[in-house]
Amino acid sequence: MEQLKKGNVKKYILIALAVICVSLLLIADVLHNQNTAVTEKSDVAMGTVITSKLYGKGGEEITAKLTDEFNRLENNILSWRVSASDIAKINSNGSATVSSETVDYIKKAIAVSEKSGGALDITVGTLSKLWDIGGQSARVPSPDEITNALKNTDFRKIKIDNSTVTIGESQQLDLGALGKGIACDAAKKILDESELSGGVVSVGGSILLWGDKPDGGDWQIGVRDPRGEQTDSMGVLSLKNGCVSTSGDYERVLTVDGKNYHHILNPKTGYPAESSVISVTIVSDSGLLSDALSTACFVLGADDGMKLLKEFGAEGIFVTSDKRVIVSDGLKDKFTVKNTDYTLENS
């Protein structure tokens, strides 16, 4: 009898052990698959590199949809280089009837222009073409050329009547400061309609964080070290979702006689902005706002930039030329400085 009991117990223990082992294997497999069911792709659109990391079902199909959507934005709406786009039509005719989508983008840009006192100005087109920093004919224009171009830089001259947009004489629109952010918003719409569980999309460095990270934690975003190489981060942001954009003086630089000229032009002076910040990173639910505000805040500097962010309910990280890091209240427990060359400061 005793022997039989022992035999039974032994049998149960062995069965239990086998069940535990198989369960462990299955759990490991599920976790493994969850983490590796990822579609990671890079492509070229809107004159920049698009990188996406999508988790869950249908990633391949979604990356194709993203590329199509970015091409549509570039060719139909945003690019002043593509003659059929709404912006090019406005620029070439001085006035054009455009899509409600284009009107919406222009109105939102004007709202940032107004609240930032013109630190962002989408009528900067004449000026940006003159410098062409990052383009084939980049050069430092003469002071006279800059003075003339500044005469055409004033967002207040844009008139919107329903779907007709009219610009001032000789004015040229340039939505370059918000294009990547607009693309992030468009990507969000596509992901919202997908069966994916989560993902990150980078449009030339402006990013969308969407859905859940497979391990359930926050997305970890490396903030580029403005004085380092392309993948060196000066700090890391932990965020659940939203859009993040950075404007920095390291991106697209023209060097003449040992002097560097970066591409973020101050619409007031006509020269690359010098506000003692070397990079500004903005977090917002809206990609358009994060992108537009990063430019405006770069031009304004940390003090006025912080005030502007409050107007739009956005958050930001300002890096100054002496490597101080000023973080808005909403990001204080979400941002960690990793590079010890930089000092975190209380704003």
Partner 1 sequence: MNSKSKLFKKTDLILILVILLICGIFLIPRIIDKSDNLTAVLYIDGAEVRKISLNKVTEPYEFSFGNKHTATVRVENGRIRYLDADCPDKVCVNSGWLSKNGDTASCLPARTVIRVQSEKSDVDIMVY
Would you tell me which residues interact with partner 1 (CB under 8 A)?
6, 9-10, 14, 17-18, 21, 24-25, 28-29, 31-32, 36, 40-44, 47-49, 51, 53, 63-64, 67, 136, 200, 202, 205-207, 209, 213, 219-224, 230-231, 233, 236-237, 244-246, 248, 251, 281
Which residue, 167 or 209, has its beta carbon nearer to partner 1? 209
Residue 71 CB coordination number (10 Å): 13
**Closest CB to partner 1 among 183 and 207?**
207
The answer to whether the Cα torsion of 264, 267, 271, 275 is positive or negative is negative
> Which residue, 21 or 160, is less far from partner 1 as judged by CB?
21
Give 136 or 162: the residue with its C-beta nearer to partner 1: 136
Provide, rounded to whole angstroms, the least separation between the CB of residue 335 and partner 1: 12
Q: How far is the CB of 159 from partner 1 (least distance, A)?
A: 35
Q: Please answer whether residues 262 and 225 qualify as being in contact, where contact means their C-beta atoms are separated by less than 8 angstroms.
A: no
Q: How far is the CB of 152 from partner 1 (least distance, A)?
A: 27
Asked if residue 159 lies in contact with residue 182, where contact means CB atoms within 8 angstroms, the answer is no
Q: Among residues 126, 131, 78, which one has the least CA distance to residue 273?
A: 131
Nearest distance from C-beta of residue 168 to partner 1, angstroms: 32
Q: Rounded to the nearest 10 degrees, how much is the dihedral formed by the CA atoms of 80, 86, 92, 95?
A: -140
Q: Shortest approach of partner 1 to residue 72 CB, angstroms?
A: 15
Which amino acid, residue 83?
A: S
Closest CA to 223 of 211, 231, 214, 215: 231
Residue 330: closest CA among 315, 318, 319? 315
Nearer to partner 1, 89 or 213 (CB): 213
